[in-house]
Structure 1
Amino acid sequence: MMGYSSQVSESEQSDQRRLARNFNELLQELRVAQAGVQILFGFLLSIAFTDRYAAADSYVRVTHMITILFSAGAVALLTAPAAWHRILFRKGRREDIIDVANRFAIGGLACLAVAMTGTILLLGEVVVGGWAAIVLGAVAAVFFASLWFLLPWRERGVDTVDSDDGPA
């Protein structure tokens, strides 16, 4: 009976170590994305206060606003896991936090991809204008979608040695 109790305890400790490692890896990944999205957000905000923006047509203004909203969404989603952890970390909910944080991270990356695409579209509109700008935006969208989502999604089906690490 005594041996079973220590095995459960060791198993629980092992699970807790795995969850802690998963959460730390997720936080490291989010730090990379957060810095970029915060710089992008600041850049997008500053555009609205330029003389050239005052003369921009409604297409540029609407595209800019949509891009800012997706950038703000990315900031919110990529920083939310830290808030969830801070509020729930002593409640024994680490597995729930990791699951939600993983979903937030994917949603935040999707918002960041749209914001980056919108930024490239806006810059393309200023530099080359017309259909060339739209082509640049479309190429950016395909690039981000492929690199960040389609290729990793395709690889999910491939068996690995370390497949017990969970959602992080």
Structure 2
Amino acid sequence: MTAARPPHDPDDDRLADADEDRPEHGPHRAPRTDESPTQRHTRQMSELLQETRVAAVGVQVLLGFLLSVPFSATLDDLQRTAYVVAVMAAMAATALLLAPSILHRALLHRGQAVWLVRTGSRLLLAGAAATSVALTASALLVGDRVLDGWVQYLPAAWTAAWVLVLWAVLPSLRSARLSAPD
């Protein structure tokens, strides 16, 4: 016996058609000519899920180390604050980065590929933002624990600067260049 096909969602067609006019489908990023919109969204969903799986593992490892800190060290006020911020951000990042996979599994075969790709991309970016907070707070915790004076803030500043440049400035510059007229 074959499973009944879910009802077709007309919003998927509207969203798929609207995708063709989006900048990522301009001359610099033409859609693959051999794939249909459905195939493209399936590929994009697969790529998104792979990206979130990689990112989620890293955040979960960070969270695991953070969870062991209170059992091996006494923390002062700044360290305690940095620790709590790092743990909360890592937990939020874990939830945000796992959400696309959960949503995909929950809505599998329901005709929601366009929505899943869009929502999953936003969740991935939000997870990256939470990860940046967790990394910076973790670096502050380490810096305050092992360094003295103003130097204790360098690991956090260094981490925040790299995250900002690689995750925000570089993509923004590239996007601006791609959007600029020839």
Q: Same fold by TM-score, threshold 0.5 exceeded?
A: yes
Instruction: Report the equivalent of 1:150.
Output: 169
Whether 2:51 is the aligned partner of 1:29: answer yes
- Report the more deviating stretch, 103-112 or 26-35: 26-35
The number of residues matched between the two structures is 148
CA RMSD of aligned residues (A): 2.0
Instruction: Report the equivalent of 1:85.
Output: 104
Contact map agreement 2:103 2:116 (CA 8 A) in 1: yes
Instruction: Report the equivalent of 1:96.
Output: 115
Contact map agreement 2:90 2:131 (CA 8 A) in 1: yes
User: What amino acid sits opposite 1:45 in the alignment?
Assistant: L
Instruction: Report the equivalent of 1:62.
Output: 81
The structure 1 residue matched to 2:153, chosen from 119, 134, 141, is: 134
Instruction: Report the equivalent of 2:42.
Output: 20
Counterparts of 2:123 and 2:81, CA distance in 1: 26
Instruction: Report the equivalent of 2:63.
Output: 41
Counterparts of 1:77 and 1:142, CA distance in 2: 23
The structure 2 residue matched to 1:117, chosen from 136, 147, 162, is: 136
**1:91 match: secondary structure:** coil
**2:178 match: secondary structure:** coil
Runs of 5+ unmatched residues, structure 2: 1-15, 18-34
**1:62 match: secondary structure:** helix
Using the TM superposition, give the Cα deviation of residue 76 of structure 1 relative to its aligned residue in structure 2, in angstroms.
0.5
Counterparts of 1:41 and 1:22, CA distance in 2: 28
Counterparts of 1:159 and 1:105, CA distance in 2: 22
Counterparts of 2:54 and 2:130, CA distance in 1: 15
Counterparts of 1:84 and 1:130, CA distance in 2: 46
Counterparts of 2:148 and 2:130, CA distance in 1: 24
> TM-score scaled to structure 1, two decimals?
0.82
Counterparts of 2:62 and 2:37, CA distance in 1: 37
User: What amino acid sits opposite 2:69 in the alignment?
Assistant: I
Instruction: Report the equivalent of 2:30.
Output: none
Instruction: Report the equivalent of 2:7.
Output: none
Using the TM superposition, give the Cα deviation of residue 157 of structure 1 relative to its aligned residue in structure 2, in angstroms.
2.9
> TM-score scaled to structure 2, two decimals?
0.76
